[in-house]
Structure 1
Amino acid sequence: MTESIDLSTDPNGAWEVLKGRLTVDIVEPLPVSTPISEDKVRFVCVSDTHVKTDDMTHPMPDGDVLLHSGDFTFTGSLSEAENFNKWLGSLPYKHKIVIAGNHEVILDKDSCMKPRPAQEVITNATYLQDSSTTVYGFKVYGAPWTPEYHVMAFNLTRGEPLREKWRKIPEDVDVLMTHGPPLGHGDLTWRGDRAVLT
């Protein structure tokens, strides 16, 4: 009998075992200048703006739905979150959907002494946390969880604690928003480790 290895606690090992079995379709983003088509829905995806929305060198692309996958604050303060919400209110997208990242301490009841309810802070977008919404017939699900990294927001131990969150994802989801990357795609850190959401 072969001893089984829990690859959910070893993303580097998981990649070595699974890389030959994964099928990935690369989606090339449209150039920012591409006109919006009446018979299509354009999703604009962004994350890790870290209070830099006032300093962006390029305007946000045109689109129908804005998806922000977390880390809109830097220190996780209420004022940073409120400024982000104000920025969201200035954007012309018909729908705006936001999840938290590991910097949004103010929204995480387990890492903040006085957390604020997200619905009070993010009023200019739909905030998702282990929940979904539907726009233009597409079901969008958001989960902010990441593997433990220092003392940050929405961090869980690799293995069963994270698997418990991933089991909540419905099978009929069209768009999955997470703060971290999938295995083998954008997850390689400068140290050579994989920071995947296992």
Structure 2
Amino acid sequence: MSDTHSLTHNLNFKVPFGDVLLHAGDFTSFGRDEEIKTFNKWVGALPHKYKIVIAGNHEISFDPTCENILQIFNPTTRNPNSAESHLVTCLNIIKKPFARFTERHSVPTNASQHLTNCIYLEDSPVVVYGIKIYGSPWQPEFGKWAFNLPRGKPLLSKWNQIPDDTDILMTHGPPLGHGDLVRSGDHVGCVELLSTIQQRVRPKYHVFGHIHEGYGVTSDDCTIYINASTCDINYIPKNYPMVFDMDLPAGVHK
């Protein structure tokens, strides 16, 4: 699953049972404490033995660098005559909930402490049933949201941290050409991520979200790419969770 955006209460399906649940980020709208706690309660009620979660660009409270965007949207910290201020005025028309949030809250640095019912990965690995899973929240910059980095070397520096022996890779954003086609007709995935996957890591599965209209499965005959976005482009949580099986390594039993 991915991109549930605090809408798990509106799911019109039951989450399929499995040994491991993967959620590839954007489980909140703006990373507010109450959203995180609600998600934590929801995921804790699921029967899966392991629940593995990464953040996405909407988890702004998980990324301290997002203090910049909070300052931009906060009317007390910007020049009212600046072009930036006029832009924010327009954005506030469509992002009033975000504006209200930023006026009331600073960015906490320990938001992930609320995720007590799952394993939270941030540029880090975990091994379950002998299967090596690595999770990373980063994506190409767009709108100065959380975990945004410029394309090229900044993003590549993050992908270089992915271990060679990763079996399942979780990122929030897609690689170029897989589950990354937006309605404008452009492919917006990360080419550095694609090259890292195809030339070095070669995981069995790559699970991601971020591009809601990219929901689905593709393959390059080595890696299976899963855009698991639960919400569609209209933020309706209608896309069914993806289910896959993996053989356990020799000598490993559940």
Per the shorter chain, which TM-score range? 0.7 to 0.9
Q: Deviations over 1:44-73 (max 9, x none)?
A: xx0000011011000000100000000000
3-state DSSP of counterpart to 2:66: coil
What letter corresponds to residue 172 of structure 1 in structure 2?
Answer: D
> By percentage of residues, which structure has more helix?
2
Contact 2:30 2:61 in 1 (8 A): no
**Cα 1:66–1:103, aligned 2, differ >3 Å: closer, same or farther?**
same
Of the candidates 33, 56, 59, which is equivalent to residue 78 of structure 1? 33
Amino acid at match of 1:144: P
Q: Which residue is equivalent to 1:131?
A: 124
| Residues 118, 127 of structure 1: 8 Å contact kept | no
| Counterparts of 1:176 and 1:92, CA distance in 2 | 23
1:103 and 2:55 are equivalent in the alignment:
no
Alignment correspondent of 2:2: 47
Change beyond 3 A, Cα 1:166–1:188: same
Whether 1:194 and 2:149 are equivalent positions in the alignment is no
Could you tell me how far apart the structure 1 residues matched to 2:182 and 2:33 are?
29
Are the counterparts in 1 of residues 33 and 111 from structure 2 also a CA contact under 8 Å?
A: no
Specify the alignment match of 1:56 in structure 2. Answer: 11
Give the distance between the partners of 1:120 and 1:127, measured in 2 at CA.
9
TM-score by length of 1: 0.75
Structure 1 runs of 4+ off > 4 angstroms? none
- In the other structure, the counterpart of 1:154 is 147
Percent identity over paired residues: 54
1:132-160 per-residue CA deviation (whole Å, 9 max, x = no partner) reads 00000000000000011102100001111
CA contact (8 A) 1:103 1:153 kept: yes
How well do the aligned residues superpose, as a CA RMSD in angstroms? Answer: 1.1
Gaps of at least 5 residues in structure 1 are: 1-45
**How many residues matched?**
153
Q: Select 1:120's aligned residue among 113, 116, 128.
A: 113
CA distance in 1, matches of 2:109, 2:19: 29
Match of 2:223 in 1: none
Aligned to 1:168: 161
Q: Deviations over 1:149-177 (max 9, x none)?
A: 10210000111100000000000000000
Cα deviations by residue, 1:99-121 (Å, 9 ceiling, x for unpaired)? 00000001111114422325412
Q: How far apart are the structure 2 equivalents of 1:114 and 1:148? A: 19
